[in-house]
Amino acid sequence: MLDRRLFLAYCSTLGLGSTLFPGALYAKAQAEGEITTEAIAAAEQIAGLTFTEAQREMMVEDLNERLEDYAAMRAVALPNSVRPALVFDPRVSGMLPPSGESHLAWTSPPIQRPADDETLAFLTVAELASLVKSRQVTATELTELYLARLKKYDPVLQAVVTLTEDRAREQASRADAEISAGNWRGPLHGIPYGAKDLLAVRGYKTTWGAMPYRDQVIDTDAAVVEKLEAAGAVLVAKLTLGALAWGDVWYDGTTKNPWNIEEGSSGSSAGPGAAVAAGLVGFALGSETLGSIVSPSTRNGVTGHRPTFGTVSKYGAMALSWSMDKLGPMARAAEDCALIYHAIHGQDARDPSTLSVPFAYDAGRDVTGLRVGFLEAAFSEDYDNREADAQTLAVLRGLGIEPVPMKLPDDLPVGAMLLVLEVEAAAAFDELTRTGGTDLMVRQEKNAWPHVFRTARMVPAVEYVQANRLRTLLMQRMVEVMRDVDVFVTPSFGGGSLRITNLTGHPSITVPNAFHPLEDAAGAARRRPASISFVGGLYQDADVLALAAAYQHATDFHRQRPPIR
């Protein structure tokens, strides 16, 4: 007799959910104890195929044998940390990483300690580093300041999963001792930060924001956490993310936007965005697969850097899409992101997607030599932030840069290629779906992972491969586009850039460029932040960061503070 669970699982692999499969046909299969030609014919409709009866007859035996293969594979435990044998590589496009050595040309800015701690909490990483290096403030003072702010504002913002107080105080004390002895490790030494709770930290929970994993402890430190510890940074909190890296709803609430606590902080790097904006940490680490740094950076009015794919190790991070996940900094300023990226980038044998790529950043660089483009069609559309985005181009012109009009590839089905993300995510959480664990998650609507995981099981394997082949064409098209520019400017959600560049692995930085008053705001201080994004060529993160830093030196949007009410 054919096992019902096994049969339904098989139907899922063919593209048939139990609700799509006629009850009479299942009963017939039960009685016959095998997959039939009728089952194959029904599956053809889902896959968009047509076979003859003779072809179906020829397929039946092999398909029934594969039921045993699927059962054998599912009997092997596959934790989220086990990656596929295939590795996404942006070099397939033909664009190779630059040669040379990494270096950071940066000088501590002259600054005096502010008279009040509120102002101190909102300083940039560069400014905090200067104060720590000159011993105007200690790492312990900063750590206690940010821990106090986390405790004060988290009941409102719901941005914290776990405070890492013991670890933080130990790291801060060590930093103070080293700095007092004249051993300053660099600009992150003694600077408190928060990590998105998909990054493993030894001795603390790593919940991935989802109810099924709320008590999960992973006995390792993520590679980026290791690197930041080596740089002397102080981890004060593990910050919220939308469940399994989607949205701002996690198992214990909704993370709020400090500029307007009646709305969420967007996601999935919801906690990092809210915490940085509210001055609860010096900086944070987020992640992006399809907008999870860009979107919360926009909503919360902070600066977020999505690095080139493969330049930052994902070891110890939750896998959502092995070929699209990126880890990056979220901070007050682009220069901060450069300091953080310098510390976390690099090859890691534990993450085979990483490469040894030099990062040469000069804080005093003359950016007028950069070839800058702008997505002409996107800027021409009618959208809310159009005036502010046009003003951004005007600021660049005032810096001696003349952005040239350009466009992105428009001859490929980019939306269809995103099935890559859905299929990889469904594979990453296959066991959770098959065991009913997704039923424990808070969000159960159409635009949520439980539904997407189930739907993705309907995608034929051949179509997943074909989507990746189309992705190769898209990457090759982008190489041609980037031959004429070093960086291009785009509305953060316009022109198709977000989808395209997440598929191709290009770096970007998103910076605030407007704070729109809310007409119906409960308090006059409430605003709606808006942003613009700078996108660079593969492995050219330094260009992107330098241009964004120059823009921020000419403006003060990144200096704004939210009302947190």
Give CA–CA dist 447/459, Å, rounded: 17
In this structure, the answer to whether residues 226 and 360 fall within a common structural domain is yes
Q: What are phi and psi of 249, to 5 degrees?
A: -95, 120
Contact predicate 165/119, CB 8 Å: no
- 516 within some domain: yes
- 122 within some domain: yes
Three-state DSSP class for residue 352: coil
Q: What are phi and psi of 143, to 5 degrees?
A: -60, -45
Asked whether the predicted pLDDT for residue 28 surpasses 80, the reply is no
Q: What angle (nearest 5°) sits at the alpha carbon of residue 188, between those of residues 217 and 195?
A: 25
Asked whether the predicted pLDDT for residue 439 surpasses 80, the reply is yes
CATH of the domain at 191: 3.90.1300.10
258: left (phi over 0), alpha (psi -120 to 50) or beta: alpha
In this structure, the answer to whether residues 11 and 63 fall within a common structural domain is yes
Three-state DSSP class for residue 253: strand
- 448 within some domain: no
Burial of 435 (C-beta count, 10 Å sphere; 0-12/13-18/19+): exposed
Give CA–CA dist 565/563, Å, rounded: 5
In this structure, the answer to whether residues 25 and 111 fall within a common structural domain is no
Give CA–CA dist 512/417, Å, rounded: 29
* Active-site choice (12, 265, 268, 497): 268
Give CA–CA dist 323/89, Å, rounded: 8
In this structure, the answer to whether residues 533 and 507 fall within a common structural domain is yes
* Active-site choice (196, 227, 238, 314): 196
Give CA–CA dist 398/413, Å, rounded: 37
What's the whole-model pTM score?
0.92
> Side chain identity at 411, as an amino acid letter?
D
Quick check: is 292 catalytic? yes
pLDDT tens track for 271-294: 999 999 999 999 999 999 999 999
- The residue from 23, 41, 76 where one domain ends is 76
Furthest CA-CA distance within the chain: 84
In this structure, the answer to whether residues 370 and 305 fall within a common structural domain is yes
Task: Find the mean pLDDT for residues 308-318.
Answer: 98
In this structure, the answer to whether residues 555 and 508 fall within a common structural domain is yes
- 533 within some domain: yes
In this structure, the answer to whether residues 207 and 275 fall within a common structural domain is yes
In this structure, the answer to whether residues 62 and 191 fall within a common structural domain is no
Q: Which of 65-69, 318-322, 325-329 has the lowest mean pLDDT?
A: 65-69
pLDDT band at 1 (very low <50, low <70, confident <90, very high): very low
In this structure, the answer to whether residues 351 and 381 fall within a common structural domain is yes
Asked whether the predicted pLDDT for residue 188 surpasses 90, the reply is yes
- The residue from 22, 48, 76 where one domain ends is 76
Task: Find the mean pLDDT for residues 40-47.
Answer: 84
Quick check: is 196 catalytic? yes
Give CA–CA dist 189/133, Å, rounded: 8
Asked whether the predicted pLDDT for residue 29 surpasses 70, the reply is no
pLDDT band at 19 (very low <50, low <70, confident <90, very high): very low
Give the structural domain span for 470.
90-412+464-559
pLDDT tens track for 323-382: 999 999 999 999 999 999 999 999 999 999 999 999 999 999 999 999 999 999 999 999
Task: Find the mean pLDDT for residues 141-160.
Answer: 98
Q: Which of 50-59, 150-159, 408-417 has the lowest mean pLDDT?
A: 50-59
Which neighbouring-strand residues pair with 508? 306, 535
Cβ within 8 Å of residue 14, ≥6 positions away: 39, 40, 43, 46, 47
- 459 within some domain: no
Give CA–CA dist 477/408, Å, rounded: 8
In this structure, the answer to whether residues 56 and 175 fall within a common structural domain is no
- 351 within some domain: yes
How many domains, the chain? 2
Asked whether the predicted pLDDT for residue 53 surpasses 60, the reply is yes
CA-wise closest residue to 308 among 352, 273, 357, 267: 357
Q: Is the peptide bond between 321 and the residue preceding it cis, with omega within 30 degrees of 0?
A: no
* Active-site choice (266, 287, 292, 321): 292
In this structure, the answer to whether residues 23 and 122 fall within a common structural domain is no
In this structure, the answer to whether residues 198 and 294 fall within a common structural domain is yes
- The residue from 48, 76, 104 where one domain ends is 76
Asked whether the predicted pLDDT for residue 21 surpasses 50, the reply is no
